[in-house]
Structure 1
Amino acid sequence: MKKLYAGIVALSVLGLTACGGNEPEKKTTSSDPGAEIYANNSCVGCHGRDLEGASGPNLQKVGSKLSEKEIHDIIINGKGSMPGKVVDGEDADKVAKYLAKQK
């Protein structure tokens, strides 16, 4: 009887371990192209999936502090430890527009 319970426990552990353990991280989908670019780029690594900040600053209310142009300039030129051109061209425009809405 003990072997039966041990077998059930072992199979349960294996089953739970196998569920989702090797799934790639899901990319965020949004109707805002800037949010899409932000979520699928290296921005998330420093500023967090929900703009909460990590090694980079919190961006949840960045639009109340900086204009779209100022945000765009930081994206293109970098600031502090943030390198420039993490995204560029139209992608930088879209991300700046998205972040400027965060108030």
Structure 2
Amino acid sequence: MKKTYMVTGFNIVLAVCLVFLLFVYEGPKKSQPGSAKGTETASASAGNAEDLVEKSCITCHGDQLQGGAGPALSKIGANYNQSEIENIIKNGKNGMPGGIISGEDVAVVAKWLSEKK
């Protein structure tokens, strides 16, 4: 009889551990490239324009900014200045929704795109 309680208790503890691992535990944080060297890594808050565009824009504008579902951005600086591009990013235009990029990152991306002529 005691053996049955011990096995049942062990199974319950094992089941609780599995549930914890499946639903609660997220695992170790992935290290960012460059973090092992002690340097800052590019993130959305760091404001690296190319990384921001890669994360937020290439789905519609293409991986080379050649266009796709959205217009080409490879020479967008010839048509719009930085403040106009910032306005489009913040508020959207035609089929593009506003607010895809926010905060200080808007200015960083707009400056980078305005240089594409």
Matched residue, 2:110? 96
Quote how far apart the aligned CAs of 1:35 are.
Answer: 1.3
Larger Rg: 2
SS of alignment partner, residue 98 of structure 1: helix
Matched residue, 1:14? none
Write the distance in 1 (CA, Å) between the matches of 2:72 and 2:55: 18
Write the distance in 1 (CA, Å) between the matches of 2:70 and 2:107: 20
Q: Which runs of 5+ in 2 are unaligned?
A: 1-41
Taking structure 1 as the reference length, what is the TM-score of the superposition?
0.66
Higher relative contact order (CA 8 A, sep 6+): 1
Q: Which runs of 5+ in 1 are unaligned?
A: 1-28
Does 1:71 pair with 2:81?
Answer: no
**Cα shift readout 1:4-60 (whole Å, capped 9, x = no counterpart):** xxxxxxxxxxxxxxxxxxxxxxxxx8xx8111110122x111001110000000011
Taking structure 2 as the reference length, what is the TM-score of the superposition?
0.59
Matched residue, 1:33? 48
Quote how far apart the aligned CAs of 1:87 are.
Answer: 0.3
Pick from 31, 34, 49: which aligns with 2:63?
49
Identity %: 40
Quote how far apart the aligned CAs of 1:74 are.
Answer: 0.1
Root-mean-square deviation (CA, aligned residues, Å) is 1.5
Between Structure 1 and Structure 2, how many residues are aligned?
A: 72
What amino acid is the match of 1:33? Answer: N
Which 4+ residue blocks in structure 1 deviate beyond 2 angstroms? none
